């Protein structure tokens, strides 16, 4: 049986004649003419399908500019992000680093200097003053957004020099008011780093050897999460952060993240940079925290950039076994500056990758530089809207080949779900598939085609997708 299709552009230029798609799958079609329906099918009001899901915004990129103004710049974005369906913003490391005004925060020196102490040749951080940050957090909360703090627990930088008996040489492990810790809180010395009187190193690999924090030291635990004035409690109770992004969690035991979260709670995601789904699963189960789904990231990179083979998406990913613990992403501050093409997804394929994570399970993260890029912005807004409304219900892969991937979200009793069609070939593709909708018109909510389709009495329909692009089908209004 042939399935009707109508292109709105064709209507205008052919006096309301439409094309009937055949059941063939090679891009060919037979032409017929039928009277168009009245009224023409259009998109449904998606607000009626709110599924309660939202997305997170990574609100920075590497070496943001201009210096000292970032918190103010973000404050001006809050209303738009909230209206677009974002429910959390992940901020860069908010405290003073050794590099002072040039620091992105991953060289942490003073955990309690949010831009108010004169040290490392600056009072504000690269991002602004403490008052600017507090204003940003307040505005985010007033617009219903949670604010996620980036926490670096593995290593410290910018301390004063002292003799270290465990290394039999001088090391920069002295942190006090005169040496990189002007707040006077969480002063440290060589006993708080590795090696020390307890052991040589943490359970996991060393990253920043000479200033590698020892999480087994009781006073380190008190200052990081246990004590009344701990970093965790200060960030939550005083600064009003709502959750945590833990940097480089391979550098210490998973028990550290679990202990932190048991003490103060809040949303939590760890940067366990590994493309192995089993390793990610092991970490999230041990820590109790969510993790960035690097397995998904690398599968998308392999499928879209390296191998041009969408069957790779059938492989293991964290979201497939632990959807509530998987934070999916297409780009972040590290991948975007990485010159190794195997560690980033190409510009040409970014929207395909976003279409994948925003229609599948997991908690998607949008990268600031992508969302604020006018090339992507309107399309990302459409995908976020689709994610927050119709991307629900069990997932079924209906068809998979090197060039094509078709997935169905089966929806719920009150939600129609959707069908995603990814096509990485150089030509327009069509394929006949089963849907959950009988005798209903469908439209492409991605806006990548202007066609409408009609399912038959059994739910069969021939869907289409443009070359090197995608379409997302669901019932019309």
Rounded to the nearest 5 percent, the helix, strand and coil shares of the chain are 30, 25, 45
- Give the list of residues 6+ apart from residue 427 with CB closer than 8 angstroms, or none: 27, 467
Q: What is the mean pLDDT of residues 425-439?
A: 97
pLDDT at residue 409, as a whole number = 98
DSSP H helices in 106-224: 130-142, 218-221
| pLDDT tier at 41, thresholds 50, 70, 90 | confident
Strands (E), 132-223: 146-151, 160-164, 169-174
So what CATH class is 49-389?
alpha beta
- 154 known member of a binding site: yes
Distance (Å) of CA 185 to CA 109, 111, 112, 176, 297: 11, 8, 7, 8, 38
pLDDT at residue 218, as a whole number = 97
pLDDT at residue 209, as a whole number = 83
Distance (Å) of CA 39 to CA 15, 35, 36, 42: 15, 11, 8, 9
* Residue 389 clears pLDDT 70, i.e. is over it: yes
Residue 86, sorted as left (phi over 0), alpha (psi -120 to 50) or beta, turns out to be beta
| pLDDT tier at 203, thresholds 50, 70, 90 | confident
Q: What is the mean pLDDT of residues 86-103?
A: 98
As a whole number of angstroms, the distance between CA 447 and CA 459 comes to 23
Q: In the chain, what percentage of residues exceed pLDDT 90?
A: 88
Q: Do domains 3-44+395-475 and 49-389 have the same CATH topology?
A: no
Compute CA 152 distance to the chain's CA centroid, rounded to the nearest angstrom. Answer: 19
pLDDT at residue 459, as a whole number = 96
What is the DSSP secondary structure assignment for residue 209, as one 8-state letter?
G
Q: In the chain, what percentage of residues exceed pLDDT 70?
A: 92
Q: What is the mean pLDDT of residues 163-169?
A: 97
Q: What is the mean pLDDT of residues 328-338?
A: 97
Given the residues 107, 146, 192, 271, select the one marked as catalytic: 271
**E strand or H helix at 255, and its extent?**
helix 254-264
Phi then psi for residue 345, to 5 deg, are -100, 130
| pLDDT tier at 207, thresholds 50, 70, 90 | confident
| Matching residue, tokens 């530089």 | 369
- Give the list of residues 6+ apart from residue 2 with CB closer than 8 angstroms, or none: 20, 21, 22, 23, 30, 32, 462
Full strand arrangement of the beta sheet holding 3-7 = 20-21, 3-7, 451-454, 441-444, 469-475, 418-423, 404-409, 395-400
Digit-coded pLDDT (tens) for 102-111? 999 999 999 9
pLDDT at residue 34, as a whole number = 42
Given the residues 247, 293, 382, 404, select the one marked as catalytic: 247
Distance (Å) of CA 83 to CA 56, 78, 183, 291: 13, 9, 38, 26
Q: Any idea where the domains of the chain sit in the sequence?
A: 3-44+395-475, 49-389
* Residue 364 clears pLDDT 80, i.e. is over it: yes
Query: Count of alpha carbons within 13 Å of 288, Cβ hemisphere only?
Result: 12
pLDDT, the chain, mean: 92
- Token representation of residue 333: 């501050």
* Residue 39 clears pLDDT 90, i.e. is over it: no
> Who has greater pLDDT, 29 or 78?
78
Digit-coded pLDDT (tens) for 236-272? 999 999 999 999 999 999 999 999 999 999 999 999 9
pLDDT at residue 31, as a whole number = 29
Rg (CA), the chain: 26
Digit-coded pLDDT (tens) for 123-161? 999 999 999 999 999 999 999 999 999 999 999 999 999
Strands (E), 303-437: 326-329, 363-367, 395-400, 404-409, 418-423, 429-434
| Matching residue, tokens 């405290």 | 95
Q: What is the mean pLDDT of residues 78-104?
A: 98
Q: What is the mean pLDDT of residues 411-416?
A: 96
- Give the list of residues 6+ apart from residue 227 with CB closer than 8 angstroms, or none: 233
Annotation marks residue 247 as catalytic: yes
- Give the list of residues 6+ apart from residue 377 with CB closer than 8 angstroms, or none: 371
Query: What fold is seen in the domain 3-44+395-475?
Result: Immunoglobulin-like (2.60.40)
Distance (Å) of CA 207 to CA 7, 11, 132, 210: 56, 62, 32, 9
Annotation marks residue 271 as catalytic: yes
């Amino acid at each position: 049986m042939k399935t009707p299709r109508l292109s709105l552009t064709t209507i205008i230029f052919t006096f309301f004649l439409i094309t009937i798609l055949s059941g063939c799958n090679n891009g060919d079609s037979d032409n017929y003419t039928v009277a168009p329906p009245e009224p023409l099918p259009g998109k449904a009001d998606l607000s009626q399908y709110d599924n309660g899901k939202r997305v997170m915004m990574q609100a920075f990129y590497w070496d943001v500019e201009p210096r000292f103004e970032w918190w103010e710049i973000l404050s001006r974005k809050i209303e738009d992000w909230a209206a677009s369906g974002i429910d959390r913003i992940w901020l860069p490391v908010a405290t003073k680093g050794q590099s002072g005004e040039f620091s992105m925060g991953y060289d942490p020196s003073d955990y309690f200097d949010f831009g108010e102490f004169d040290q490392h040749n600056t009072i504000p951080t690269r991002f602004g003053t403490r008052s600017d940050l507090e204003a940003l957090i307040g505005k985010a909360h007033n617009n219903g957004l949670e604010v996620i703090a980036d926490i670096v627990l593995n290593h410290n930088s910018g301390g004063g020099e002292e003799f270290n008996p465990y290394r039999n040489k001088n090391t920069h492990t002295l942190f006090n008011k005169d040496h990189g810790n002007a707040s006077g809180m969480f002063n440290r010395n060589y006993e708080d780093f590795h090696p020390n009187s307890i052991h040589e190193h943490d359970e996991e690999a060393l990253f920043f050897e000479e200033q590698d924090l020892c999480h087994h030291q009781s006073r380190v635990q008190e200052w990081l999460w246990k004590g009344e004035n701990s970093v965790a409690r200060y960030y939550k109770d005083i600064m009003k952060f709502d959750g945590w992004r833990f940097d480089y969690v391979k550098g210490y035991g998973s028990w550290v993240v679990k202990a932190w979260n048991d003490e103060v709670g809040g949303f939590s995601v760890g940067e366990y940079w590994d493309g192995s789904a089993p390793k990610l699963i092991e970490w999230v189960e041990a820590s109790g925290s969510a993790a960035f789904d690097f397995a998904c990231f690398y599968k998308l990179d392999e499928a879209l950039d390296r191998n041009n083979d969408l069957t790779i998406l059938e492989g293991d990913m964290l979201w497939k076994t632990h959807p509530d613990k998987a934070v999916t992403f297409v780009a972040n501050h590290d991948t975007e500056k990485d010159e190794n093409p195997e560690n980033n997804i190409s510009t040409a394929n970014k929207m395909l990758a976003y279409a994948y994570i925003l229609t599948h399970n997991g908690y998607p993260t949008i990268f600031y530089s992508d969302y604020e890029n006018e090339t992507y912005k309107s399309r990302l807004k459409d995908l976020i809207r689709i994610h927050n409304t119709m991307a629900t219900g069990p997932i079924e892969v209906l068809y998979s080949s090197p060039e094509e991937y078709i997935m169905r979200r089966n929806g719920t009793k009150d939600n129609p779900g959707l069908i995603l069609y990814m096509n990485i070939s150089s030509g327009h593709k069509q394929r006949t598939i089963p849907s959950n909708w009988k005798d209903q018109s469908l439209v492409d909510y991605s806006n990548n085609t202007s066609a409408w389709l009609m399912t038959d009495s059994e739910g069969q329909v021939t869907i289409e997708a443009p070359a090197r692009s995608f379409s997302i089908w669901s019932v019309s209004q």
